[in-house]
Structure 1
Amino acid sequence: MANSCILLFICASAFALTTAVTIRDRPLIGKPAIAPVAVAAAPVKDFVPIVKSLAERKDDGSFVFSYEGADGSQREEVGIVRNAGTDDETLEVSGSYRYYDADGQLVEVRYTADENGFVPQGTNIPQEISAAAHAAAEVARRQPVEVK
């Protein structure tokens, strides 16, 4: 009986392996559901090691994290929970990131985000956008929306 079970297991395993190879290597029959699209090969990029990293989270939801790549890229962010456990609980986030673009120029962005909106400022963000975001956040601070 044991020999029969072993023989059956070996036969089933061999069948499963040959079927998988046969199905994988079989050419498509008929038209494919989606026509193939020619895709330009993306340039292969080098792996950038992380040289520094920090991540902490508190029980109330506040957090801090940062990292730095060997290529000079960086990101850091801090989230602070205000009025924890109340109906007025909010998360205020501030942070920054930087990297070198394809032309070797340093791109830096600093931002804040809270219940009044997201306000970015950076070397790649037009001043008009940063000013408009800041003005909208100020209006929201002066005229808070009442949630029902």
Structure 2
Amino acid sequence: MATWRNLVTFIRREYEVTRDEPDEIRIEIRFGDEEGIHRTQTVVIAREVLDGREEWVQIASPFARVDQVDLAKVLAEIGSTTVVGGAVIMGPYLVLRHSLPLINLDINEFVDPLELVGLTAEDLEEMFTGRDDY
């Protein structure tokens, strides 16, 4: 899976796509138990080009508005519990983001970080906002 097109084809087949553009695809991951779905999380997968030559895939998931959380507490939580991704501010949103080089990308190298970013963002959203907005 070394091309953006191959990755997008896989995503369309395996996930619920909510938005599909040439260099960005959004999915919704559902979390729940045997009784049903209780929460959802939006994850944005985007094609990025580093230095005008290297293709990367960026996995990002918003979990709060910057003005609605204590950033120091959020960053301390991420620093002590998160293995994949880091927090960034994108516009008014606090986002958990992780990037991978697209060349020679194996499916497990994409799926595991994708699921970890989505689940971690969902946990952070619930912990710091108590809502399910994203």
TM-score in same-fold range (> 0.5):
no
By relative contact order (CA 8 Å, sep 6+), the higher-ranking structure is 2
Please give the TM-score of this superposition, normalised by the length of structure 2.
0.31
More helix by share: 2
TM-score (norm 1): 0.29
Highest CA radius of gyration, 1 or 2? 1
Richer in strand (by share): 2
